Amino acid sequence: MTSMIRIENGWLTGDAIRHVLSPNFDRRPCQVDKIPEQVSLLVIHNISLPPGQFGGCYVDQFFTNCLNPTEHAFFEEIANVKVSAHLFIDRLGRVTQYVSLDDRAWHAGKSWFNGRENCNDFSIGIELEGTDDQPYSSEQYGQLATITRQIMLAYPALKFENIVGHCHIAPDRKTDPGASFDWLRYQDLIKSVQPGRTHKSVTNSETSK
């Protein structure tokens, strides 16, 4: 089955979308004419908590400042870090939105793109559940392509050449989404996906990749 995905006032709607509100955001800065900064960049990240482990509620807890540092040694390092992404896509293609696309999520950190610093000001950040060296699932690629297409329709300043990885805007600090991310596959899917619909799952075995 496929389900409709739309963007309404900065929020995704559809059967596969859940909303978990993060406090880690603020408004995008205004330009000289007091018009909010336009979205012109899309940044792809990866995340897994604990590192290399999938599933569970730790990503929700991390982006909502509720991570318990006693539950894992790695959590002691990040429990007090206040960050967020606009969207998170898990291994099954399920989507969680934490911040309105119209607002500034805190996902990029120190960064630059095409001579501009502070990429959070003009970007949308999407986290994929994964690691740099493990293949992403077909469900993730399909959902990511669908959402990207919808974002491009809603924010026309975003062009294909402005879809990048965290590694491209912070190369001295970040490596995600890593060598395991298939950029050509993703780009082909963006061009082929029917606007507003997500790709059908291929096989059950694909979800475990």
DSSP-assigned states of every residue in 133-177: TSPPPHHHHHHHHHHHHHHHHH-TT--GGGEEEHHHH-TTT--TT
> Which of 23, 69, 22 has the alpha carbon at shortest distance from 50?
69
Q: Is 131 helix (H, G, I), strand (E, B) or coil?
A: coil
Q: Which residues partner with 112 through β-bridges?
A: 117
127 is catalytic: yes
Q: How far is CA 3 from the centre of its chain?
A: 19
Q: How far apart are CA 118 and CA 7, in angstroms?
A: 25
Of residues 76, 127, 139, 161, which has the active-site annotation?
127
Look up tokens 């999520």; give the residue.
105
Residue 33 DSSP symbol:
T
Q: Which amino acid is at 4?
A: M
Q: Which amino acid is at 202?
A: V
| Catalytic residue list | 127
